[in-house]
Structure 1
Amino acid sequence: MSRRKLSLSALTVLELTPPQMVECAARAGYDFVGLRLLPATDTEVRHEIVGATRLKRETLAALRDTGIGVLDAEILRLKPDTDVAAYEPMLATAAELGARYVLVAGNDPDESRTAARLAALCDLAQPYGLSPSLEPMPWTDAKDIVQGARIVRAAGRANTGLIVDPIHFDRAGSSTVALADLPREWFGYLQFCDAPAERPTDLDTLLYQARAERMIPGEGGLDLTGILRALPEDLPLSIETPMNQWARSADALTRATRLREATLAVLEAAHAKE
């Protein structure tokens, strides 16, 4: 079995600065890192990395020193009032850092407008060699794989696609059969985590699990093997496993190393079942 490339997602080690994330990924044995250039929420720390900043220069130096690549950059939200052109500085920085994909969230109830804005974002990103990819999340307006596929199809651009996150995939009730039927070229990488089999019944718990308390791959109840089998077997895995309680007693390197080892064990077990 050829070893998949593994990436350390920013959300897994969000207490670190971007250059620290790069160094942590290198020390823990990853191939890539994911960087959050724009915060996901208003309360999240904002790193001054977009544009000609000291932090960007430090991150570029860390990437050069370690040989780590940047798999993806986060996070662009398509809202009813989004001006897509305003995202160009972020795209330029993502490209300078060597990112391949940009994570996009759909936060507009008008699906046709979301598709049009995704198309415009793809056109803006194309000269930078970036693929803005939509991640369905059950609390957003692009809730599941079926809806995400409609939006990507309507956008009609070659440099877009879908990002599957196992916890969002499961909580939205998405089907691995439906996933396997989608065009292979829509998928550039797969996020990876685990979670309790029981689905939350309220939004607060849903959000809390997703943003703060996931589980080590292989220790929860998600159908990780089914998701792996439904997608191309060479996709890089972005390990996105925020575990705030664990983070109180274990540093980022310890967690990143353990998560990498657990992911490799899940991959080995999934391969053995084939």
Structure 2
Amino acid sequence: MDLLAIEHQTVFGLPPVEFVELAAELDCPYIAIGLTGGAFNPHGYEPYSLLDDTSLRRRMVAAMRDTGVTISLGEGFLARPGREIRDEARSLDVMAELGVARINTTSMDSDLNRSFDEFRILAEMAAERGMETTVEFAPSMSVPDLDTALAAVRHVAHPDFRLLIDTMHLARAGHTARELAAVDPTLIGYVQLSDHTIEQRGAVYRDDTTDRMVPGEGELPLLEMLAVMPSDVVIGLEVPMRSRAEAGESTTSRAGRCVRAARELLAQTWPSI
């Protein structure tokens, strides 16, 4: 059973229809999207907005219908100070129109109580549209670690609000596979796989998050992590490789290397699947 997805950040602004076609070319059944291409665009792709361009949405839906690729995760739903998550209703409508299975959230608001309340509102809004919600933690965010993310899940107390585990963030937050194994596996709704060094290399954390390594080429104990993950969740390849893109390596080449490496790791972890 192939549960691999190619994540939005990995393709650095590749337009949606081409993104669907790339996933199909690499035999990946899923992609994760944002409604726009993002700030970093080393290949000079044409900017787009799935929120505003109804024709683009129709063409993307047609491409997904033709290839069988679907959207496993929708990104871009942050709790922020001075902003209300209820204002994301139209973005959620578009995600639902595109058949997105779940959306992801985290927080840049230092007020955790408010963030948790916003997560609850978002989870309810997403569920009304037939979508699940995951919460992601990262040392650079207001949800910095696994314990805080679990506290958010308990606070929201919604069956469709679960954890997103990013392997880089898990390791950089100081967590081990043993700690992850202690988490109820039904609380894990999505996994993002990448590799990196254990210690931060860039001047700021963001530098490292946008310049990751092909799974298996870094220092993270990925086999140990994968061994304690549920085997029935989508594993998204969130492997933006800024240096390689700036050096001229194509999106297809970078994504292809990640897909092949991930399949090798998964074959070692779950050989019967």
TM-score using structure 2 length: 0.91
Structure 2 counterpart SS, 1:185: helix
Write the distance in 2 (CA, Å) between the matches of 1:235 and 1:115.
Answer: 24
Higher mean C-alpha displacement, 167-176 vs 136-145: 167-176
Aligned AA for 1:209?
Answer: D
The code of the aligned residue for 2:228 comes to A
Aligned to 1:170: 171
Asked if 1:82 is matched to 2:83, the reply is yes
| Distance 1:28-1:150 versus aligned 2 partners, 3 A rule | same
Superposition deviation, residue 115 in structure 1? 1.2
Q: State the Cα deviation string for residues 92-147 of structure 1 (Å, max 9, x = none).
A: 11111111111112111121211111111111111211112111011110001111
Work out whether 1:261 is the aligned partner of 2:260.
Answer: yes
CA distance in 2, matches of 1:200, 1:83: 33
How far off is 1:269 after superposition?
2.5
Contact 2:135/2:163 (<8 A) preserved: yes
Mapped contact 1:4–1:234 kept (Cα < 8 A): no
Report if aligned partners of 1:176, 1:230 keep a CA contact under 8 Å in 2. yes
Residue 161 of structure 1 aligns to a residue in which SS? Answer: strand
For 1:30 and 1:68, how far apart are their aligned partners in 2? 7
Whether the 8 Å CA contact 2:70–2:99 is kept in 1: the answer is: yes
Are 1:249 and 2:238 counterparts? Answer: no
- In the TM superposition, 1:123-202 aligns within 5 A as 123-197=124-198, 199-200=199-200
Mapping of residues 12-27 of structure 1, within 5 Å: 12-27=10-25
SS at match of 2:165: coil
What SS is found at the alignment partner of 1:7? strand
Indicate how the Cα distance of structure 1 residues 134 and 166 shifts in structure 2: closer, same or farther if over 3 A, else same: same
Is the aligned partner of 1:109 residue 2:140?
no
Please give the per-residue CA displacement for 1:11-47, whole angstroms capped at 9, x wherever unaligned.
111131111111111111101011111566xx45763
Structural mapping, 1:45-124, within 5 Å: 47-50=48-51, 53-124=54-125
Separation in 2, partners of 1:127, 1:51:
22
Q: 1:146 to 1:97 in 2, by over 3 A?
A: same
The verdict on how the C-alpha distance between 1:38 and 1:115 changes in structure 2, with shifts beyond 3 A counting, is: farther
Give the unaligned 5+ runs of structure 2. 42-46
Deviation sequence 1:67-103 (CA, Å, 0-9, x none): 1011001111101222121111111111111111111
* Partner AA of 1:7 in structure 2: A
CA contact (8 A) 2:10 2:239 kept: yes
Given residue 7 of structure 2, which amino acid in structure 1 is its aligned partner?
A: S
Structure 1 unmatched runs, 5+: none
Deviations 1:137-159 (A, max 9, x none): 11110001111111111111111
Identity %: 26
